Structure 1
Amino acid sequence: MFFRQNLTRRDALLVMVGASCVYLFLAAASYGLQTTPTLTVEGPLTQISLERERKIVTMLSTLTVTATTTETTTHLASPTPTLQSTLIDLGLEPDIPETSIVAHAPGWTLFRNLYMSNGTLFLLTSDSSLADFPEIRMMTSTGLEAQNTPENIAAREPTKENMDFISPADARARWGGDYTKGERNRVWTVEGNTLLFNDPPQFLNHYYHFVAELLLGTWAFIYGAFHPATGLMSSSSSPPSISAAFNQPSFNVQDNATYQPPPFTRAIFIHSDTHGWRDSPGFNAYFLRAVFPALTVEVQRDWEDRVMATVPDKSGDRSTLTADRAWHFPIALLTDRSAAHRGVVCGSQTQRTAAEAWHYMVDNGGVDRVGAWWGNIREAIWRFASATPIAQAPLKHASDGKFMDLQLADPGETVITYISRQSSRRRLIQEDHEGLVTALEELVNRKRQEGKHWELNIVQAERMTKDEQVRVMSKSTILLGVHGNGLTHLVLMQPTRVSAVVEIFFPGGFAHDYEWTSRALGMRHFSVWNDTYFTHPNEPRVDYPEGFQGISIPVYGPAVAKLVEDQLEHKLPS
């Protein structure tokens, strides 16, 4: 009888709204009766069941993935898996999850469940002996600029205000609510994976230090830490009270045979303002955006906002003050320059912070020695610049096929690139520069007469666009020039059996900057003093004599051309 009556538009609208509500209620009830979603991983990982009744993780989308690991690759059952997204709510969780270390080298620490309150990073643990944690001074510092004085060295030592341990009972008293009464914990999760850069701007605004130290070390560390060959992610403990769905990030897989670590969500420059991490030529921002287009960047002001949000509000009626809060980082990589220099590899051998990360992962089988681990980064910036590098033969495996035994191939073509610094503050004697150019031109012309396709590029980077610089470097077999920022472009080169960097120093001077980086990326490095060269393991000692930064650096062009020819034709001892 109801439907025979004349309905007004308002009545019809109400009927439609009511029907929609009934439909949504029935759909939700039906979903609640379904089987709990499961992420199943074969290999070093464990089966994960998402406990709906714990209300820890709210699934936005679900997926069942089976991963099979070998020594070199990660394979997924589906080449185009659907990504799993989670929201983590620790509000009514009776036990705040404890902190664990996935991997650690001096200055490089990958955490599960790291906390921050009032500017202090907290490691939540019930281990009274703290035996499972490195020394705090090997993980962090005060973040002050580095000066080589006893006072400054002491001032950079961390205090309990920088990092401290906290017991579950103290964490409950400080951040916890009474969950039996429905009171929520005051712990707020920063979703995703976070990079915490504790370095001062002193080195961040320099292309080499930003890209070839900070980003290169970061990639080496996360590439190795998540690689199935190391077992680091699966071996680090996971709190039993927390679903591992957010503790074990999904692999970001391009295809069935390509491994990549999971993407990181944000980078936080704790001590830098928005300009402090950018270099004058603009390559830092270019590189970061090209390689990590989805990465969110936060700076010191953003970090201060997070700090202030955890401090009790002291305004108004003091009887209603809010208690402390904490930020929860499910996965966080903390990097610290001062802590890295406290390590043996960086502090005593190379003075390169990235060396601590790279050597640790080499020792654990997470990265190779020929630069294949850097391939994702190198190729991403090639694509961004529309570079078409010379086709190369694929990497070869030794007879046992192990990841660490990758072997480089010969180059498809030979390209020599000389970066001229003759308009910069550190440069060659003008006559020596001209003599070097002449010697290289004669070498290339002679090889062409022999039927070999050799190419020579004489470039001034400051007169080229960034895209043009990337395209030139993507094809380069030999990169040479005076010690300086332009040699950072070696990170854009494709390693081959003869790829090398030739660095010209004022005689008596030497620094590990480009020497160590070249070798970490699978290329040889030669240090040149006028007509004499040095190579690993017989490098000179680090020194900065008078004239190191000058405009009268000598070099004997024919000797450099002979070195380049011998390297390209396998005439030098390995």
Structure 2
Amino acid sequence: MKVRSGATKKNATNHKNSPALGVFIFLGLSTLIYFGPPSLHMIKNDVAEQVESFAYSDIDFVSQYQSEGNTRCHGEGSISGLPGFYVFDKLWYKSGTFYLFSDHPETITLPKLDAITSGHNPFLVRPTSESPHHIKAKDQDSKIRCFPHEIIWLNAGIPPAAFQRRHIAKRFNWEYHHYHFLAESLLGGIASLDLVNQQHTNDINPLGERKRWLFIPYEGDWKDPYGLNEPVVNGLFGNHLVDSSAWREISSNGDWVGLEKVVLIDRWASHRYNTKANLWNKMALDVFDSLPSSAITPTQSDTGLTSLFSGYRNNFLDYMEIQPLQRGKAGMALYEVPNIIYVDRQASGRRLVPEAHRDLLLILRDLERAGLARTVVGKLEEMSYEDQIKLFAGADIVIGVHGNGLTHQVWMAPGGILIEVFPSGVFLRDYQVVSQVVGHEHVAILDNHVYTREEWESEPGKLLATSPNDANDRNIQLDKGFIEKLLKEKISQFNVVH
């Protein structure tokens, strides 16, 4: 049995030596290192395809010399999706207002503004004759910029007073806490785009195959203080990022900005209008539960077992220079025997009682000595970010007390198992919904028994922690015989013959 703690890798980039994953909610502001916005290249159609080195080469800059047929973002606007995750085709922006253009504007009914965004940007539907392409000849000095790919737009918004009283207002930077940033906003936006695409094509592509942009237009403090969000953005989107400084440069001159397809993500809009988001305090839950089973159940492909998130996972691990291990088929271990990772939270307030922790370490040692499993104990707060990701990327089974570190399950190969241990009387769906989307079996342990889906679905109000403190500062009991039997049962689910 190995214990992973100290950082061992060289500090090649600033994400390699990030500190620990934090508590469920962090207070204060992260530090934004500002290097100034990138310069924009003005590109004509005849040379646009030749410029590949810079992200903005993928934006069509439309001049009066180009006809409307040569650009994207031209055509009938539309809206679909769910509140807080509405997906727009052919959405336009100018001087603080969003526009949809249509030959039949009377057929487009926009939802209430606060179901789209908690900000103040108005949305207008206008006839096609007023679209940027049609009025261009009258305004020779203005520019039309079109982002021709799909966009995930994170809108920080302004929470209503009711949310401020519940102490989850924007001043806590709730949206950019790592779990909420990656597992709710980004994963929810990715799922929304694929859900809409699937409805139109009857086929869900593994995510990561399409080129997508990330917009964070209004918030400069998205780089969390633990250094986790920035490498995720770099690994998933590369230079396809429009941050607040770049957005100001693009939009502040009163020019038109076209978005070919964009999902506008707003936590407060989702919580106001989506039933499950409110019930479970999970903003993307209604989106996740709307996905077809084919999108959330690992399926066989030429490269092995894949899930909805596989393309993104592989891209990120490549960026981190970590081999993206795959399961050849369902029930296949990644190594000669299943690899079990125990996430050790004993340095935090929410932890196992000392005897239970010692018993679990002895069980893991005995499983390895018997040749039934490989076992590693990971103290994430003492590990480099790269080593944390590598730890999860090679896991078959992860066991740990409820905590932010379990967000890393997104980097596990589809078909893994997550065993989550809860404090007595508390159940939250934070990591269950992630398992559901990225293709893992989730096992909830509550009061020394497996807390089944039938049980927690029947009593969401009883065990849902309405305040993050409800899940903190608990010393959790764990029966040795129970957890040993459970681990052996889960090990037996893996076929170790490759």
Q: 2:277 corresponds to which residue?
A: 347
The partner residue of 1:211 within 182, 191, 194 is: 182
Question: Which residue identity does 1:222 align to in structure 2?
Answer: L
Q: 1:503·1:525 contact (CA, 8 Å) conserved in 2?
A: yes
Q: Deviations over 1:338-369 (max 9, x none)?
A: 22224445425543333333344427x7x342
* Cα distance change of structure 1 residues 132 and 369 upon mapping to structure 2, 3 Å threshold: farther
* Cα distance change of structure 1 residues 505 and 426 upon mapping to structure 2, 3 Å threshold: same
Note if 1:120 corresponds to 2:108: no
Q: Deviations over 1:437-487 (max 9, x none)?
A: 2233234434x2xxx4x1111110121122211221112111111111101
Residue 263 of structure 1 and its aligned partner are, at CA, apart by: 0.7
Note if 1:87 corresponds to 2:87: no
Residue 279 of structure 1 and its aligned partner are, at CA, apart by: 2.1
Q: 2:78·2:100 contact (CA, 8 Å) conserved in 1?
A: no
Note if 1:231 corresponds to 2:231: no
Q: 2:265 corresponds to which residue?
A: 335
* Cα distance change of structure 1 residues 260 and 225 upon mapping to structure 2, 3 Å threshold: farther
Q: 1:399 corresponds to which residue?
A: none
| 1:192 counterpart SS class | strand
Give the TM-score taking structure 2 as reference length: 0.72
Q: 2:405 corresponds to which residue?
A: 486
| Bigger-Rg structure (1/2) | 1
* Cα distance change of structure 1 residues 368 and 433 upon mapping to structure 2, 3 Å threshold: closer
Note if 1:467 corresponds to 2:386: yes
* Cα distance change of structure 1 residues 443 and 223 upon mapping to structure 2, 3 Å threshold: same
Write the distance in 1 (CA, Å) between the matches of 2:425 and 2:310.
34
* Cα distance change of structure 1 residues 471 and 91 upon mapping to structure 2, 3 Å threshold: same
Residue 286 of structure 1 and its aligned partner are, at CA, apart by: 1.4
The 5-angstrom pairing of residues 110-509 of structure 1 reads 110-131=87-108, 133-142=110-119, 161-168=120-127, 171=130, 177=135, 179=137, 183-184=139-140, 186=142, 188-193=144-149, 194-199=151-156, 202-226=173-197, 230-231=200-201, 260-264=208-212, 266-273=213-220, 276-299=221-244, 301-310=245-254, 325-344=255-274, 346-348=276-278, 350-362=280-292, 367-370=295-298, 372-388=307-323, 392-394=327-329, 408-412=330-334, 413-446=337-370, 448=371, 452=372, 454-496=373-415, 499-509=416-426
* Cα distance change of structure 1 residues 345 and 373 upon mapping to structure 2, 3 Å threshold: farther
Q: 2:68·2:74 contact (CA, 8 Å) conserved in 1?
A: no
Q: 2:102·2:128 contact (CA, 8 Å) conserved in 1?
A: no
Unaligned runs of 5+ in 2: 1-42, 51-56, 158-169, 299-305
Write the distance in 2 (CA, Å) between the matches of 1:94 and 1:61.
16
* Cα distance change of structure 1 residues 427 and 465 upon mapping to structure 2, 3 Å threshold: same
Residue 330 of structure 1 and its aligned partner are, at CA, apart by: 2.9
State the identity %.
20
The partner residue of 1:105 within 82, 85, 93 is: 82
Write the distance in 1 (CA, Å) between the matches of 2:202 and 2:448.
47
* Cα distance change of structure 1 residues 382 and 543 upon mapping to structure 2, 3 Å threshold: same
Residue 221 of structure 1 and its aligned partner are, at CA, apart by: 2.9
Write the distance in 2 (CA, Å) between the matches of 1:533 and 1:331.
42
Write the distance in 2 (CA, Å) between the matches of 1:547 and 1:62.
54
Residue 171 of structure 1 and its aligned partner are, at CA, apart by: 4.0
* Cα distance change of structure 1 residues 178 and 206 upon mapping to structure 2, 3 Å threshold: closer
Q: Deviations over 1:121-144 (max 9, x none)?
A: 2223454544454444332222xx
Q: 2:417·2:441 contact (CA, 8 Å) conserved in 1?
A: yes
Q: 1:91·1:185 contact (CA, 8 Å) conserved in 2?
A: no
Write the distance in 2 (CA, Å) between the matches of 1:308 and 1:388.
42
Q: 1:102·1:111 contact (CA, 8 Å) conserved in 2?
A: yes
Write the distance in 2 (CA, Å) between the matches of 1:349 and 1:221.
20
* Cα distance change of structure 1 residues 98 and 163 upon mapping to structure 2, 3 Å threshold: farther
The partner residue of 1:523 within 414, 418, 440 is: 440
Q: 1:416·1:455 contact (CA, 8 Å) conserved in 2?
A: yes
Write the distance in 1 (CA, Å) between the matches of 2:442 and 2:296.
18
Write the distance in 2 (CA, Å) between the matches of 1:494 and 1:391.
6
Q: 1:480·1:502 contact (CA, 8 Å) conserved in 2?
A: yes
| 2:292 counterpart SS class | helix
Q: 1:19 corresponds to which residue?
A: none
Write the distance in 1 (CA, Å) between the matches of 2:277 and 2:252.
35
| 2:91 counterpart SS class | strand
Write the distance in 2 (CA, Å) between the matches of 1:348 and 1:287.
27
Q: 1:436·1:556 contact (CA, 8 Å) conserved in 2?
A: no
* Cα distance change of structure 1 residues 306 and 260 upon mapping to structure 2, 3 Å threshold: closer
| 2:455 counterpart SS class | coil
Higher RCO structure, 1 or 2 (CA under 8 Å, sep 6+): 2
Q: 2:105·2:127 contact (CA, 8 Å) conserved in 1?
A: no
| 2:413 counterpart SS class | coil
Give the TM-score taking structure 1 as reference length: 0.63
Write the distance in 2 (CA, Å) between the matches of 1:304 and 1:177.
23
Give the aligned CA root-mean-square deviation in angstroms: 3.6
Unaligned runs of 5+ in 1: 1-55, 64-83, 143-160, 234-250, 252-257, 311-324, 395-407
Note if 1:538 corresponds to 2:493: no
Note if 1:511 corresponds to 2:428: yes
Write the distance in 2 (CA, Å) between the matches of 1:175 and 1:309.
18
Q: 2:209·2:311 contact (CA, 8 Å) conserved in 1?
A: no
* Cα distance change of structure 1 residues 485 and 169 upon mapping to structure 2, 3 Å threshold: closer
Write the distance in 2 (CA, Å) between the matches of 1:208 and 1:302.
25
Write the distance in 1 (CA, Å) between the matches of 2:195 and 2:46.
28
Question: Which residue identity does 2:226 align to in structure 1?
Answer: P
Residue 223 of structure 1 and its aligned partner are, at CA, apart by: 3.8
| 1:191 counterpart SS class | strand
Q: Deviations over 1:170-225 (max 9, x none)?
A: 946x997583xx64384521433333211356223312111111221222233444
Q: 1:225·1:232 contact (CA, 8 Å) conserved in 2?
A: no
Q: 1:411·1:477 contact (CA, 8 Å) conserved in 2?
A: yes
Residue 283 of structure 1 and its aligned partner are, at CA, apart by: 1.6
Residue 281 of structure 1 and its aligned partner are, at CA, apart by: 2.2
Write the distance in 2 (CA, Å) between the matches of 1:259 and 1:567.
28
| 1:537 counterpart SS class | helix
